[in-house]
Structure 1
Amino acid sequence: MSHDDIEIQCGRAMSRINEFKEYVNNPLWEILVETVHSLVMYAHHKAYVRDVVFSENPEIKPEELAARLGVPLGEALVILYELEHARNEGSTTREQLKP
């Protein structure tokens, strides 16, 4: 992967994170996250999105993901936010390691 590709991906991830800003800044966000984390299938859904869905459609919208998995929109939002946040941190870490 070239330096330009990494910059593009990092830019997309940051843009995607900004899309979630409205939700994350809401005082109820922490309650939503706590509730989603308590769902029995949450970890499996998150792994499936990371391993399968993102490879097919890395720009999937929360509404599309909720419909595809048959899960509440809140769960889809939390999954996408957490995976985008992790992906963005990974890109930043790779960039910081470059000489």
Structure 2
Amino acid sequence: MPNIHNYFVYILECTDGSYYVGVTNDLERRLEEHNSGYNPTAYTFNRRPVILRYYQRFTFIEQAIAFEKQLKGWNRKKKEALFNEDWNEIKRLSNLKKK
């Protein structure tokens, strides 16, 4: 039986207005790393400070990674609908892409 842990998929808003999607097992630590410039090669390094706009907790890493990949494929409007928990808008935007 697999171990159950906490994993988080998160979206940050950078100072240039772009969004960064990531996954971690320690959200508070990871947010601090992004804002401190822990990794000079990271996307967020020159876009600090960052603001946490959204996160979701998962118990299995496979689910978290799958959701992270899904979010990375979403456009800006769809991510913003997620921030507002506007499920109708998310559905509408998803249907537009299928046409």
TM-score, with length taken from structure 2:
0.27
- Which has a greater percent of helix? 1
Q: Which has the higher contact order (CA 8 A, sep 6+)?
A: 1
- Which has a greater percent of strand? 2
TM-score, with length taken from structure 1:
0.27
